[in-house]
Structure 1
Amino acid sequence: MKSSSLVELALSAQGCTQKELALQLRVSPAQISKWKKGEHISFEMSKKLSELAGLGDLDPDVVLLAGSKEDAKKWVQLIHYLADLSEDSAETGYHTAPLIEDLGDDNCSLFWNTFRVLQEMGITIPRPFPKELEACIADDDEDEVIWDNEIASLIYDMFKSLTNVYGFYAAFVSDLVYDEELDLIDTPAWELDSELLSLAASKLDLDESKIPGFSRFKNKVKSEVAKMVTYLKERAFRAGIPLRAELMDLVFDSHDELGRAAEAHSLGFDQNRLHPDIYMNELLTGMRVIHQVLPALIKKLGIEDEFELDTSELRLG
């Protein structure tokens, strides 16, 4: 999307036509049209368009969503502030990487992902930037303003949920995703960490009468993440790598439950515990072997007609 956003913002900032913009960049008008449709753009041309649009370090997609460069800067400040607030109050024992990384990056991934998730939930980014929130980004003592503003409080709740979801992911899942033995690059499981903010948002208890698209969003996210986790579990099982938790809890448990599990792990309460699924799989494998071998043994002994299983001996007293 960035190439089309860059072209649109450059055209607006320069007040020129596509043909005039093409002359400035020494490319064909057809190339401008291709970029406007989303075709990949080189770093050099991206930089030139960004300079013409006067973006500085701002993400062009965020600027378009916010409505102006000034409002984009305010959203960046607010999201940075809410990320810091959420991370400072996290209790899992793990740092929430998405909240503390890339904040100074030109890509502004956290800001873009936050806007993307809000849009997928069916929420429109307010324009212009809510005036009452300007005090929040200017003064650290204005926390109460957040709780009175629906979108700011929602973003904060998303980030708080993310600290718990990411804590569980860091404790039980990430080592598997990046395990070289599993070689998960370009597999469904490799995309798991990029869906964690969406997953965190899906775990919120929201008023669906106010956000009609939330139910559809929640079901879609859970379905997609469940497929990723299932794939990861299958690969781990085939490789004989034990699990220390039921990974599907990431999908179906509440964010509070995930946070408690992560905290327990960070404190070492379950360091020697393997998840029962591992033992159950071993038992099932053994049972399948017995199921295949036993009939052959009975036939070999010639007792297939007289053998009868006494199930009463299998019942617990």
Structure 2
Amino acid sequence: MYAAELVEIALTTLKCSQKELALRLGVSPTQVTKWKNGEHMSSEMEKRLRELSKIGDADPSLVVWAGSPRAAKQWREVIKYLADMANEGGETGYNTAPLSDAAGDEMTLDILCGQTVLTLNDMGVAPPKAFPTDLKNALADEEPYELFDEHPLANLIGKIYSAYTDVYGFYVAYVDELLEDDDGNPIDGFDDIEPCLLSLAASKLEIAQPDVEVRRDIKVGLAFAPNFLEFKRKTEKDYKRWMTKLKNRAIRTGAPLRAEIMDMVYDSHDSLGHKAEAEALGFNNSNLHPDMYMNELITGMRMIHQILPKILDKLDIKFTPDMARLRADEARWQSTQEADED
């Protein structure tokens, strides 16, 4: 999974060539090249590279992004703190498990660090050249939040996590239950919806003009994240496809939708947070399991009723529905349904 990153770290740490690294590992230089291109690496070889690079169990992608194992450890502490602060500030009524669990579970924190680095890279945010001095001072402070808030990169990560609490709350309230069948087993074809929620949250941040730097009052500046618009377009495109597929499945199987799940794609994170909070507080209890897609069907029928007569007039077609035949067809259909149930 981290073959390319491990090779890069080893080459940087050991200050050697690919050929020299291959000799140390007892493999061919061609194999090292394959690893750099993403070919699978055995767990034994991964362990050897970690030992040579002296990174221990650190996430290789975070080490590459941060510039050194020491800086990666420091950024890990920043990410852990910002995740905890965002989770505490969440107001949806739902626990943002990837953030809350990161405070006490090392594996969850590693996953969050990796997802955060991937998201920032996709947005085009330049990796830090070294761990900033002002963040070192913040880590030593008893209440470092304001110092983190003043640093552009830490500020951006904090804003992403805050948006994440809203998006994740909506996901838990309205989408998560649709991803399992009646027996509680995961449905195939929707594996990316939850893991990519951090990217979806980041895509919902407000943007500033290209010549404006990120400040406290600005979510993300295009000068700071030059690939943001393309990142946003791709993320929305992916989620539109996944949500459309999920919604169509719900319609086919008769699964009730307690909210318009396409809102997760197009609504702001604030709006998603408010809807999740309403669900958590029970404001939707008076409308138990409404079929949200019925509104679309009714709207479509109304459009047909408006347009079809005009088409018939244009074609000079006279049409009068045979109500007796329609009632007979409905009775036969009802009889068939009852027989199937028996």
Q: TM-score, structure 2 length as denominator?
A: 0.77
Whether the 8 Å contact between 2:256 and 2:291 is mirrored in structure 1 is no
Query: In the alignment, residue 204 of structure 2 is paired with which amino acid?
Result: K
Alpha-carbon displacement from aligned partner over 1:44-94 (angstroms, at most 9, x marks no partner):
211111111111121111111111111111111101110001001111111
Aligned pairs for 1:279-298 within 5 A:
279-280=294-295, 295=321
Aligned AA (1:248):
M
Equivalent of 1:222 in 236, 245, 258: 236
Find the aligned partners of 2:192 and 2:124 in 1 and give their Cα distance: 23
**Correspondence for 1:121 among 120, 123, 126:** 123
Q: What amino acid sits opposite 1:158 in the alignment? A: I
Distance 2:128 2:109 in 1: 22
Tell me what 1:312 maps to.
Answer: none
Match of 2:69 in 1: 69
What is the identity, as a one-letter code, of the residue corresponding to 2:250? A
Distance 1:106 1:26, change over 3 A: farther
Other-structure match for 1:173: 175
Q: Does 1:60 align with 2:56?
A: no
Q: Using the alignment, how far apart are the partners of 1:120 and 1:133 within structure 2?
A: 23
| Paired amino acid for 1:162 | Y
The alpha-carbon distance between structure 1 residues 25 and 180, as it changes in their structure 2 partners (threshold 3 A), is farther
Alpha-carbon deviation of 1:37? 1.7
Unaligned runs of 5+ in 1: 301-317
Amino acid at match of 2:202: A
Would you say how many aligned residue pairs link Structure 1 and Structure 2? 295
Structure 2 residue 292 is the aligned partner of structure 1 residue 277? yes
User: Is the CA contact (8 Å cut-off) linking 1:62 and 1:72 kept in structure 2?
Assistant: yes
User: Taking structure 1 as reference, are residues 138 and 57 closer, same or farther at Cα in structure 2, changes over 3 Å only?
Assistant: farther
Query: What residue number does 2:30 align with?
Result: 30
- Report the RMSD for the aligned CA atoms in angstroms: 2.9
CA distance in 2, matches of 1:140, 1:254: 33
| CA separation of 1:183 and 1:236: change in aligned 2, threshold 3 A | farther
Q: Does 1:197 align with 2:198?
A: yes
Residues 208 and 214 in structure 1, CA contact (< 8 A), matched pair in contact too? no
Bigger shift: residues 103-112 or 33-42: 103-112
Tell me, in whole angstroms, the C-alpha distance in 2 between the residues paired with 1:24 and 1:61.
22
Q: How many angstroms does 1:275 deviate by?
A: 4.0
Aligned residue for 1:234?
248
CA contact (8 A) 1:86 1:160 kept: yes
Shift of 1:192: 1.1
Corresponding position of 1:13: 13
* Amino acid across the alignment from 1:11: L
User: Could you tell me whether the CA contact under 8 Å between 2:181 and 2:187 is conserved in 1?
Assistant: no
Partner of 2:280: 266
Tell me, yes or no, if structure 1 residue 88 matches structure 2 residue 103. no
Which residue is equivalent to 1:132? 134
Unaligned runs of 5+ in 2: 211-220, 303-307, 309-319, 327-342
CA, structure 1 residues 40+185, in 2 after alignment: closer, same or farther (shift >3 Å)?
farther
Which shows bigger deviation, 203-212 or 64-73?
Answer: 203-212
- 1:256-282 per-residue CA deviation (whole Å, 9 max, x = no partner) reads 111111111112221352345343367
Structure 2 Cα separation of the partners of residues 130 and 185 of structure 1 = 44
Q: CA deviation at 1:185?
A: 4.8
What percentage of aligned pairs have identical amino acids?
42
Aligned to 2:338: none
